[in-house]
A and B are shown apart, each in its own frame.
Chain A
Amino acid sequence: MTTLTNPESQKRYARRRRGHKVAMVLSNVATLLGLIALVWILATLLIKGFGGLSLAVFTQSTPPPGNDGGLLNAIYGSVVQTVIATLIGTPIGVLAGTYMAEYGRNTKLATVVRFINDVLLSAPSIVVGLFVYEIMVQPMGHFSAWAGCVALAILVLPVVVRTTEDMLLLVPDSLREAASALGAPRWMVIQKVCYRAARAGLVTGMLLAVARISGETAPLLFTSLNNQFWSTNMNASMANLPVVIFQFATAPYEDWQRLAWVGALLITLAVLTLNIVARTLSAPQSNAR
């Protein structure tokens, strides 16, 4: 208290308090800005999206401008390509993650792969589209749904590798040692002990990967392209929601723009649901540890 009688210290104390207040207000404002952005985007989506929602969206294919129609072909295309891409990418990713966490732990190969994988995890997805165009679309001479699947699978891979390795490393070594002491060979330990202990985590990784690719547009632009009509031919170009949204939103026709908002709502709902499910699946585990 004696220091505060000194005018010099009093001034300094006031200055420090001011600095503290300003910083804390700014920090609150920053958080508010972030939350406003989220709420604003979601609210816009809900209002504009639900406004255009109707049964036709799920029963009819994309219309020419000025006509009624829906998004059936795009929804089908998105689901099929996402599922196939996940089926291609996940097993490879799980195996690679297994190598890094089990057989190859602390090896040079695992270190290099981990680094490269982390970089690929956030590499621009449009470059993946160019890559698949070069290796599949150009040699085949036409756009195809298969090419789209491969492009998406390449995006699935790093996500799954990363979560698989992380989740397997969370399995305590004492479990592995106990199984080995019972005479179980390594492959059995991995299959029966490690995979089982890490199951929720592995599923989380897959869900996150699906969430990531189901909104991806850039890699599909020049691999599976788009298709105005209903098509199940995997060797031809196929419609998918993101590219349809891109095309319809940037077109000057109002009914197309309305459908684009509906598509945007559907994708966001799907992706956010996947995200939240993945989060709740992994949450109790991470709390327990």
Chain B
Amino acid sequence: MTTAVVEPASETSSILSRNRLMDALLRSLTRAAAIIVLVMLGGVIISLVDGALPAIKTFGFSFITTESWNPVTEKFGAAAPIYGTLVTAFIAMLIGVPISIGIAIFITELCPRWLKRPISTAIELLAGIPSIIYGIWGLFILAPLLQAYVQPALIATFENVPMLNNLFAGPPYGIGILTAALILSIMVLPFITSITRDVFETVPPMLKESAYGLGCTTWEVVRHIVLPYSKTGIIGGIMLGLGRALGETMAVTFVIGNAHRIHSSLLAPGTTISASIANEFTEADGVMYTSSLIALGLILFVITFIVLACARLLLARMKKSEGRHS
């Protein structure tokens, strides 16, 4: 009798303790994995700062403002790549954002139901194409076209317009800042479109129907109801696309021309931070050269981190307010 009671009891307690052990094990294992994500971010920052230290010590703040990039005299300045990065990303946004919002409006408001999914999928496939494909396409297909037709036309059109003739001056190289920006604008399309579309779909149908009931046209509904309601989310999506455009490497490296100078013309070759690193890192000899390139990487990481963090905060805020409404 006693043994019959004791035996199951000890068995249960051993099972219980085993379960507790397993639970503690899995909990700490998953926790450790989560912490690895944090450690990685810290590791990236520390290693970049460590690698950039020689350049930062030598050049100080003037690293950001100097244009010269001379491996022979070991005088390095990041002004040209920073300029190239910001300008290409800015132009890409100028072209890409209106198109993305247009596509999102088409998908949510105009498109027949059966076409919705195929078109969304097609646009999202653009995000699946590797960046190197955009690069090779830009170099062999887009750049020659631009060189033969678009750039001469731009130069001729703006020849006598003050200010603008500086932007579109010089021989049509085909490759250069404008070409890189064009490719980037295609690459950011799927990211901005899919977020904008998602945000548009959170607009309460009641609001839209009320506006239609008052006799608004589709455009007026979009302009006065949908866009104001989803403003925060759209800006978040744009920032996310901007983060992508700033950090994009291979597509830009193919078509930017890799010239370390700031040229007033958008048709001239230039360089971006990521293209400089991709082109020169393996060939860089000497501590200062390598370190300057790593310092460039650090600058890029800081810029994109700030932009992406803002994007995530905006999108998170959007999500929260959405929860409040429902």
- Which chain A residue lies CB-closest to B240? A122
Question: Which B residues touch A122, using CB under 8 A?
Answer: 240, 243-244, 247, 304, 308
Do B105 and A27 have beta carbons less than 8 Å apart?
A: yes
Interface residue? A66 (CB, 8 A): no
A125 shortest CB reach to chain B, Å: 7
- Which chain B residue lies CB-closest to A225? B282
| Bound CA span A246–B130, Å | 12
Do A217 and B131 have beta carbons less than 8 Å apart?
A: yes
Do B106 and A272 have beta carbons less than 8 Å apart?
A: no
Do B132 and A217 have beta carbons less than 8 Å apart?
A: yes
Interface residue? A109 (CB, 8 A): yes
A21 shortest CB reach to chain B, Å: 8
- Which chain A residue lies CB-closest to B284? A222
Do A272 and B128 have beta carbons less than 8 Å apart?
A: yes
Do A250 and B254 have beta carbons less than 8 Å apart?
A: yes
Do B249 and A124 have beta carbons less than 8 Å apart?
A: yes
| Bound CA span A134–B106, Å | 47
Stretch at the interface among B66-74, B115-123, B161-169, B200-208: B115-123
Interface of B is mostly: helix
Interface residue? B289 (CB, 8 A): no
Binary contact readout B295-315 vs A (1 if CB under 8 angstroms, 0 otherwise): 001001100110011001000
| Bound CA span A120–B141, Å | 32
Do A23 and B274 have beta carbons less than 8 Å apart?
A: no
| Bound CA span A103–B25, Å | 12
**Which of B26, B27, B35, B193 lies at the interface centre, i.e. has the most chain A CB atoms within 10 A of its CB?**
B26
Do A41 and B137 have beta carbons less than 8 Å apart?
A: yes
Binary contact readout A261-276 vs B (1 if CB under 8 angstroms, 0 otherwise): 1001001100110010
Do A124 and B34 have beta carbons less than 8 Å apart?
A: no
Question: Which B residues touch A20, using CB under 8 A?
Answer: 217-220
With beta carbons under 8 angstroms apart, the residue of A26, A27, A37, A98 that contacts B30 is A98
A180 shortest CB reach to chain B, Å: 12
Question: Which A residues touch B50, using CB under 8 A?
Answer: 134
In the complex, which residues 200-232 of chain A have their Cβ closer than 8 Å to any Cβ of chain B? 211, 214-218, 221-222, 225
Interface residue? A245 (CB, 8 A): yes
| Bound CA span A34–B281, Å | 34
Do A35 and B34 have beta carbons less than 8 Å apart?
A: no
Do B136 and A249 have beta carbons less than 8 Å apart?
A: yes
Do A110 and B130 have beta carbons less than 8 Å apart?
A: no
Question: Which A residues touch B131, using CB under 8 A?
Answer: 215, 217-218
**Which of B19, B32, B48, B132 lies at the interface centre, i.e. has the most chain A CB atoms within 10 A of its CB?**
B132
Question: Which A residues touch B140, using CB under 8 A?
Answer: 44, 48, 249, 257
| Bound CA span A158–B131, Å | 19
Binary contact readout A92-116 vs B (1 if CB under 8 angstroms, 0 otherwise): 1101101110111000011011011
Do B37 and A28 have beta carbons less than 8 Å apart?
A: no
With beta carbons under 8 angstroms apart, the residue of A99, A116, A123, A268 that contacts B304 is A123
With beta carbons under 8 angstroms apart, the residue of A100, A123, A217 that contacts B250 is A217
Do B27 and A222 have beta carbons less than 8 Å apart?
A: no
Interface residue? B277 (CB, 8 A): yes
- Which chain B residue lies CB-closest to A245? B132
| Bound CA span A279–B198, Å | 17
Interface residue? B41 (CB, 8 A): yes
Q: How many residues of A contact B (CB 8 A)?
A: 88
| Bound CA span A261–B103, Å | 30
Do B44 and A127 have beta carbons less than 8 Å apart?
A: yes
Question: Which A residues touch B189, using CB under 8 A?
Answer: 34, 37
Do A95 and B30 have beta carbons less than 8 Å apart?
A: yes
Given A112-B38, A157-B40, are A23 and B31 neighbors across the interface (CB < 8 Å)? no
Question: Which B residues touch A104, using CB under 8 A?
Answer: 30-31, 34
In the complex, which residues 117-135 of chain A have their Cβ closer than 8 Å to any Cβ of chain B? 117-120, 122-128, 130-131, 133-135
In the complex, which residues 252-304 of chain B have their Cβ closer than 8 Å to any Cβ of chain A? 253-254, 274, 277-278, 281-282, 294, 297, 300-301, 304
Interface residue? B133 (CB, 8 A): yes
Do A37 and B126 have beta carbons less than 8 Å apart?
A: yes
Question: Which B residues touch A134, using CB under 8 A?
Answer: 47-48, 50-51, 294
- Which chain B residue lies CB-closest to A273? B128
Do B34 and A110 have beta carbons less than 8 Å apart?
A: yes
Do A99 and B31 have beta carbons less than 8 Å apart?
A: yes
Do A218 and B274 have beta carbons less than 8 Å apart?
A: yes
| Bound CA span A17–B220, Å | 10
Do B297 and A127 have beta carbons less than 8 Å apart?
A: yes
Question: Which A residues touch B110, using CB under 8 A?
Answer: 24, 27-28
| Bound CA span A267–B133, Å | 9
With beta carbons under 8 angstroms apart, the residue of A96, A119, A275 that contacts B308 is A119
Do B44 and A119 have beta carbons less than 8 Å apart?
A: no
Binary contact readout A230-250 vs B (1 if CB under 8 angstroms, 0 otherwise): 000000000000100110011
Question: Which B residues touch A55, using CB under 8 A?
Answer: none
| Bound CA span A28–B111, Å | 9
**Which of B41, B217, B248, B282 lies at the interface centre, i.e. has the most chain A CB atoms within 10 A of its CB?**
B217
- Which chain A residue lies CB-closest to B20? A185
Question: Which A residues touch B5, using CB under 8 A?
Answer: none
Q: Given A215-B130, A215-B131, 9 other A-B contacts at CB below 8 A?
A: A41-B129, A104-B34, A122-B247, A157-B36, A158-B37, A161-B37, A217-B250, A221-B278, A242-B130
A sample of 14 cross-chain residue pairs with beta-carbon separation below 8 angstroms, ordered by A number, consists of A23-B105, A27-B103, A30-B99, A31-B119, A41-B129, A95-B30, A115-B309, A120-B40, A124-B274, A124-B300, A186-B26, A222-B281, A261-B136, A268-B130
Closest 7 CB pairs of A and B: A215-B130, A124-B247, A30-B102, A95-B33, A99-B30, A20-B217, A23-B219
